């Protein structure tokens, strides 16, 4: 069965520092991968997605993610974090078949120190 693991529950970084959020997936075929961001009390906003092709994908708000098939990973990165990036981040994989839903990780909460 498909699954997504986000090993870090909570990460704190200083403003201006670089960021990497980890995501590992379990999926038999080529996965469809997504990163979403959620501000408190809000819905989820899509940051970026990977379907095929270039393994480094660019998203909104200066985020990027790299798909590494050999490591079953899809880590999210940002070179310089802003205070407004504080939120919860979710990695997801397409469930495949006719079901069509996404399988989500449990999320990583990002705090940003001034």
The residue ranges that bind other proteins (CB under 8 A) are: 9, 32, 34, 36, 41-46, 49, 51, 90, 94-102, 104-107
| Closest CB to other proteins among residues 86, 95 | 95
| Closest CB to other proteins among residues 94, 112 | 94
**Distance between CA atoms of 23 and 49, rounded to whole angstroms?**
13
| Closest CB to other proteins among residues 101, 114 | 101
Q: How far is the CB of 44 from other proteins (least distance, A)?
A: 4
Q: Concatenated DSSP letters for 19-86? A: EEE--EEE-SSPPPEEEEEE-TTS-EEEEEEE-SS-SEEE-GGG-EEEEEGGGTEEEEEESS--GGG-
Q: How far is the CB of 34 from other proteins (least distance, A)?
A: 6
């Amino acid at each position: 069965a498909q699954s997504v693991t986000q090993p870090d529950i909570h990460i704190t970084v200083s403003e201006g520092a670089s960021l990497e959020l980890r995501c590992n997936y379990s999926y038999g075929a080529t996965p469809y991968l997504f990163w979403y961001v959620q501000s408190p009390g809000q819905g989820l906003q899509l940051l970026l997605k990977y379907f095929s092709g270039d393994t480094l994908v660019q998203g909104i708000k200066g985020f990027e993610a790299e798909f590494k098939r050999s490591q079953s990973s899809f880590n999210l990165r940002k070179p310089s974090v802003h205070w407004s990036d504080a939120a919860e981040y979710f990695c997801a994989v397409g469930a495949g078949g006719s079901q069509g839903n996404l399988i989500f990780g449990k999320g990583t909460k990002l705090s940003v120190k001034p």
